């Protein structure tokens, strides 16, 4: 009679092996879930940058639009850096954030702040902004923070009267130019022409200031017609061209006004 060996013991061993493997898998899965929960519970840092707008001087009306564009760009740069922080969690070594995010952000901010200073300096004293400190950002380690600290708009400095004389002539005995007021002769200005009109009003003021400086620096020069030929005549030509540009700017979006450029461009002396 043949005898058969029982496999009961082998089956038990296999069952124990399967049970052991399942148990290890459960433990590992539990550890993995714990690590994942820890990672998701840790807040992603955000950049924390100094505000630039409060450091600005009075912004000339002619520079207002450009300054606002660059302030908006500063906000965009912050938002892009925050997105990079969120999408690169765990990447790189200990210096990854500084080298790949905060360093490039500082360079972009420095260039933008320089452009703001230059735009103001075109029609006013160029501000000496602390670019290095304003461009340097840190981290909000717990996330949150103000991701868009710059205002959407700035208040323009009141424009000087684009048709007035200087105030020092009578006191010093040196005459100053006295020009008709152009801003008071303007019709309603379309929004699309506002920035260009403000630039040209600022230019009219600059032309008056330059003429007054020339009057002060040429006292006693030339003959009887020197002031008319060398100062008032060229000033009239500059003003005429500027006023014509204002008419054209308004006429692109509305009825072109007749500002009487001939009359508004003619200046006299206030002694």
The Cα 208–Cα 188 span in angstroms is: 24
User: From CA 47, how far away is CA 24, in angstroms rounded?
Assistant: 42
The pLDDT score that the predictor gives to residue 52 is: 93
Tokens of 90: 């765990």
The predicted-structure confidence for 41-66, as pLDDT tens digits, reads as follows 467 889 999 999 988 888 888 888 89
The predicted structure's pLDDT at residue 30: 46
Q: What 3-state class would DSSP assign to 182? A: coil
Give the global pTM: 0.49
In whole angstroms, give the CA distance from residue 48 to residue 109. 13
**Helix, strand, or coil here: 218?**
coil
Contact 173, 267 (CB under 8 A): no
Cα–Cα nearest to 177, from 157, 200, 220, 206: 206
**What does the pLDDT look like over 110-151, one tens digit per residue?**
999 999 998 888 877 788 889 999 999 999 877 665 556 788
Query: Could you tell me which of 163, 240, 250, 234 has the C-alpha nearest to residue 201?
Result: 163
In the predicted model, residues of the chain with pLDDT beneath 70 are 1-42, 143-148, 157-172, 271
pLDDT at 224: 75
Q: Which two tokens stand for residue 23?
A: 């148990």
Closest CA to 201 of 249, 154, 167: 249
Question: What does the radius of gyration of the chain's CA atoms come to, in whole angstroms?
Answer: 35
Is residue 208 packed enough to be buried (19+ CB in 10 Å), middle (13-18) or exposed (0-12)?
buried
Closest to 50 (Cα-Cα) out of 79, 83, 78: 78
Angle between helices 194-217 and 64-87 (to 10 degrees): 130
Match 């080298």 to its residue by tokens: 99
3-state secondary structure 16-43: HHHHHHHHHHHHHHHHHHHHHHHHHHCC
Handedness of CA 116, 118, 123, 127 (dihedral sign): positive
């Amino acid at each position: 009679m043949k005898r058969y060996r029982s496999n009961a013991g082998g089956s038990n061993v296999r069952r124990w092996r399967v049970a052991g493997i399942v148990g290890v898998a459960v433990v590992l899965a539990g550890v993995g879930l714990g690590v994942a929960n820890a990672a998701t519970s840790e807040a992603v840092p955000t950049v924390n940058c100094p505000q630039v707008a409060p450091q600005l001087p009075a912004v000339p009306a002619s520079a207002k639009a450009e300054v606002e564009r660059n302030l908006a760009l500063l906000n965009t740069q912050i938002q892009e850096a925050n997105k990079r922080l969120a999408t690169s969690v765990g990447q790189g070594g200990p210096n990854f954030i500084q080298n790949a995010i905060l360093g490039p952000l500082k360079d972009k901010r420095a260039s933008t702040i320089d452009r703001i200073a230059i735009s103001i300096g075109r029609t006013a004293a160029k501000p000496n902004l602390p670019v290095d400190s304003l461009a340097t950002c840190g981290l909000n380690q717990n996330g949150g923070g103000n991701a868009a600290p710059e205002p959407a708009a700035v208040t323009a400095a009141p424009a000087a009267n684009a048709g007035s004389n200087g105030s020092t002539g009578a006191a010093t005995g040196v005459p100053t130019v006295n020009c008709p007021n152009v801003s008071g002769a303007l019709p309603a200005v379309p929004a699309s022409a506002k920035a260009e009109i403000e630039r040209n009003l600022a230019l009219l003021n600059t032309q008056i200031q330059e003429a007054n400086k020339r009057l002060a620096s040429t006292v006693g020069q030339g003959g009887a017609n020197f002031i008319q030929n060398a100062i008032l005549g060229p000033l009239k030509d500059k003003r005429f061209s500027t006023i014509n540009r204002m008419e054209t700017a308004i006429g692109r979006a509305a009825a072109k006004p007749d500002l009487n450029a001939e009359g508004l461009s003619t200046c006299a002396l206030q002694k």
